[in-house]
Structure 1
Amino acid sequence: MAINILLTDTSSPLGIGLRNKFESTTFRFVAEHPAELSWRDESQVREYLAEVKPHLVLNTIGWGEGTAIKPDLLADGAECLGRCLAGSSASVLHLSSYRIFHGEGKVSHTEADVPKAASDLSKAFAQAESAILGALPSSLVLRSSWVLSTEGGSLLARLLADFEAGRSTVISEHWRGTPVMVSDVVRAVYAVTQQIIYGANNWGVMHFGSSDVCSESVFAHKIQDMVQAETGRLLQLEAIETETDNSAVLEVRRLRDCFGLQPRSWRQGLRPAVRRWLDRRGLLAEVDSAVVEND
């Protein structure tokens, strides 16, 4: 029997990465939707789901990093999707974020922690998670720490964009996370998806992050070193003092125990991604450009 997998939104770097990964598989994968489809319109969504008949839905509606997040769409889309899938045999893998814990001031977060939803953004993530988990027993919420990509609203994208524009990037020593490249999240989702399709029955909330913790400041200075080595130019950083710590440190336990996924260092895969971005922008030092042409 053919397995139908539906990806709800490809507007983010994560959505694009998931589409590229799953389109190369043997699954029947649907990521292109009618232009008029609104994930807030229950009648439209019901009709579309009846047409696609998904066995598994990868939900990225409204997901993003930083300014790319669409809080209202995130919550409304998940609620509509939950209502439309309730009572069906479909499974859902819903992408969420550490931001559900914003404002709590804890050093790290486990899957068992109950979010307080202290900010409007954390409330939107909490509302989306609750809608999916409440509608379907076979649903998995995957929360990630900082998801890094060279485009979009992530910390890495912000650092690189500011470098190209000659601006300083404001960073904090007190904001800490266990960051992961978007490609790592894609690989994790793909691995989990395969196991679900072949009978894994592990549901609920799970966390994904790197094996080591860093602050915004430590991460930014690492990128500063990389950029300077590749271009000969300095990435300008401006430190700010914050009243409270803001933790995106997620402890990865259930994902490891249930699916065998081991976190790795946030440094892995970072330099090649930065170098490719600099190369596309024509920002590599001349000596490095010659090397790139001969690769």
Structure 2
Amino acid sequence: MSFKLLLTDVTSPLGKALEHELEREPFKLLVPAAAELDWSDVQSLKTYLQKHQPDLIVNCRGWEEAFYSGGQAALINTARELAQACAEVQIPLIHLSSYTVFGGDGKGTHSEKDPVAPLNDSGRAFAEAEQVIAASVPKHIILRLSWVIGAYGDNLLTRLLSSFLAGASVTVNRRLRGAPTALSDAARVAVAMSKQIYCGADNWGVMHYCSSDACTEDEFAEQLLQLLIQQQLLTAEPSISLVDSDPTDEPLSAILGCRRARDYFGIQARSWRPSLLPLVKQWLHNREQIKAAQ
């Protein structure tokens, strides 16, 4: 009997990365079209689940939008619908979340057991989605991620690249610390967990994943700038302006302790540094394609 996995989103950068990883696996991947499933209707979701009977759901729907003003509703609503439907038909769920659930406690590394105390709208949305799922779905994994970077979408890497190649001044905070995690690396971890669940793993709860290489925001920006200089990719001279004060609207640290993912699933963290040049080249390729299509 084939293992059926429902992926809730394949349009966002994270959803596309997950789909790309899952297509390599011997799963029957369910990606419902709009005509098959109305995500705003919990009864439509229940009907779909009863008809197709997936063995596992991986949810990243609304993850990208949750970081933007007014975009948090999709994350919360999908979490509520999935929690209700999964509880009724008893389907395990892997739900993607974020370091933004943490507050201004000043901790250098957040563990899975640390209390959540979000400081902004996106953090509050991620925290609410987590609470809804944890309260209703016995077999769940809430997978929190640090700074996610990639060649697509709006993230720290793409914002810096756009500014650097335009010769603009970039403002970064030297107090903010994170562990940049490539989209493909985050997807690798979610798929590794899915494969072990397929093989009978029975480990649930909150898990963390981030890269093995922590840095400050300005260190990441400087590393990227040096790479662009080495590759002779700059046509104008950008500059970096430093902010040296604690932020009030996000956690000082996005570094996550990943003990449970390592102990329960054997997942080893990878460095973001070897992937930086390939990501830059992919971003440049994407930009050229967009220009050619215009």
- State TM-score, norm by structure 2: 0.89
1:253 counterpart (234, 247, 259): 259
Residue 125 of structure 1 is matched in structure 2 by: 126
1:272 aligns with 2:291: no
Cα distance in structure 2, aligned partners of 1:102 and 1:13:
26
Displacement of 1:210? 1.4
Post-superposition shift, 1:178? 1.3
**Runs (5+) with no aligned partner, structure 2:** 290-294
1:1-295 correspondence to structure 2 within 5 Å:
1-35=1-35, 37-64=37-64, 66-67=67-68, 70-233=71-234, 234-244=237-247, 246-281=252-287
Aligned match of 1:292? none
Aligned-partner Cα distance in 1 for 2:58–2:36: 20
- 1:143-201 deviation digits (Å, cap 9, x = unpaired): 01011112212101111122344433221101111111111111111111100011000
Once the two structures are superposed, residues 92-119 of structure 1 have per-residue CA deviations (whole angstroms, 9 ceiling, x without a partner) of 0100010111444322200010102343
Alpha-carbon distance in structure 2 between the residues aligned to 1:242 and 1:33: 46
User: How big is the shift at 1:7?
Assistant: 0.5
1:35 CA displacement: 4.7
Alpha-carbon contact 1:177-1:213 (below 8 Å) kept: yes
More off after superposition, 148-157 vs 103-112? 103-112
Q: TM-score, normalised by structure 1?
A: 0.89
Please tell me whether the aligned partners of residues 92 and 139 of structure 1 are also in contact (alpha carbons under 8 angstroms).
Answer: yes
| 8 Å CA contact 2:38, 2:45 repeated in 1 | yes
**Hey, what's the Cα distance between the residues in 2 that align with 1:72 and 1:202?**
29
Alpha carbons 2:152, 2:283 under 8 Å: kept: no
Contact 2:177 2:214 in 1 (8 A): yes
Moved more, 158-167 or 181-190: 158-167
Q: Which amino acid aligns with 1:53?
A: Q
Q: Say whether the 8 Å CA contact 1:39–1:45 is kept in structure 2.
A: yes
Give the 4+ runs in structure 1 shifted more than 4 A: none
Q: What count of residue pairs does the alignment treat as equivalent?
A: 283
Q: CA RMSD in A?
A: 2.2
1:181 alignment partner AA: A
**Partners of 2:141 and 2:271 in 1: how far apart?**
24
